């Protein structure tokens, strides 16, 4: 996994209410977020997001009042695997981006940094530290078909073409033939190791800022939309059908983090 350049290898929820997030997402997605996590820098805890197959899908970082005072807000962030965190951060900064959190070593986990591209979209880059005897094990948090996993990674960017050039250069992603969305422009697909993992498109004017959206798969979008509302969240868009027969819904959890879901329309 340490050499799996360009793979999304982890998903993290930053939230001001970890217990509330557990109640919401466990019901919505069938996860089992840990009730108590490991101590993390800054006096907070880090809770693992466990799927029903017993494997982790990501983590929950509970925001402290100090983090919030310094601008941290509830959100979902993806981790992209890179062979050299420091070199990647330098390349991002030279392109006009920035490091929100400098490259840091976490013993037994790896080296990582939180960054933002030149258009303001935030994400992590990471060189994971393989567990003893498991140097060849790869992350399975992304799956195009498996429920409870992320099935799509979508970037809405102020300058889609420039963003596409930057990210493909950084991570070695390939570019399948884009889809013409008419007045909305081209939907630029991105692929890692021959598998399409998401897309980049031009941010609509009504969207406040550039950003990544990660779509988690559920068995039924109509049922999930009802669960969002029943759990105190908001349905921001959808459900509606997308090419390929799936349906999507965009939502906001009760703590204020935006998220997306993909699944069947029944």
**How much is the pLDDT for 36?**
84
- Asked whether the predicted pLDDT for residue 1 surpasses 50, the reply is no
Look up the pTM and report it.
Answer: 0.93
Tens-place pLDDT, residues 101-124: 999 988 888 999 999 999 999 999
pLDDT tens readout for residues 176-234 = 999 998 888 899 999 999 999 999 999 888 888 889 999 999 999 999 999 999 999 99
Q: In the Cβ-directed half-sphere of 46, how many Cα atoms lie within 13 Å? A: 12
> What's the mean pLDDT in 130-153?
85
Tens-digit pLDDT profile for residues 26-79: 999 999 999 987 766 666 789 999 999 999 999 999 998 888 888 889 999 999
Among 111, 119, 207, residue whose Cα is nearest residue 165: 119
Q: Are 166 and 117 in contact (CB under 8 A)?
A: yes
What is the token pair recorded at 99? 């490091």
Output the pLDDT for position 42: 64
């Amino acid at each position: 996994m340490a050499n799996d350049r360009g793979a999304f290898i982890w998903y993290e929820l930053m939230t001001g209410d970890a217990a509330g997030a557990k109640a919401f997402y466990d019901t919505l997605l069938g996860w089992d977020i840990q009730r108590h996590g490991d101590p993390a820098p800054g006096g907070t805890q880090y809770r693992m997001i466990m799927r029903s197959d017993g494997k982790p899908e990501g983590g929950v970082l509970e925001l402290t009042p100090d983090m919030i005072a310094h601008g941290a807000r509830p959100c979902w962030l993806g981790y992209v695997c890179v062979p050299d965190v420091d070199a990647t951060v330098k390349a991002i900064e030279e392109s006009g981006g920035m490091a929100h959190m400098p490259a840091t070593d976490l013993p037994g986990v790896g080296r990582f940094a939180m960054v933002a591209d030149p258009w303001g979209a935030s994400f992590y880059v990471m060189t994971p530290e393989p567990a003893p005897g498991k140097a060849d094990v790869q992350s399975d948090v992304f799956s195009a078909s498996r429920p409870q996993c992320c099935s799509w990674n979508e970037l809405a960017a102020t300058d889609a073409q420039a963003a596409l050039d930057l990210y493909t250069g950084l991570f070695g992603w390939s570019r399948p033939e884009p889809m013409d969305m008419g007045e909305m422009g081209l939907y630029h697909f991105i692929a890692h190791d021959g598998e399409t993992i998401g897309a980049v498109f031009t941010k609509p004017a009504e969207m406040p800022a550039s950003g990544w959206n990660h779509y988690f798969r559920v068995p039924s979008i109509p049922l999930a939309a009802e669960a969002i509302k029943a759990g105190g969240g908001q349905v921001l868009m959808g459900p509606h059908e997308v090419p390929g027969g799936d349906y999507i819904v965009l939502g906001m959890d009760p703590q204020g983090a935006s998220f997306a879901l993909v699944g069947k329309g029944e």
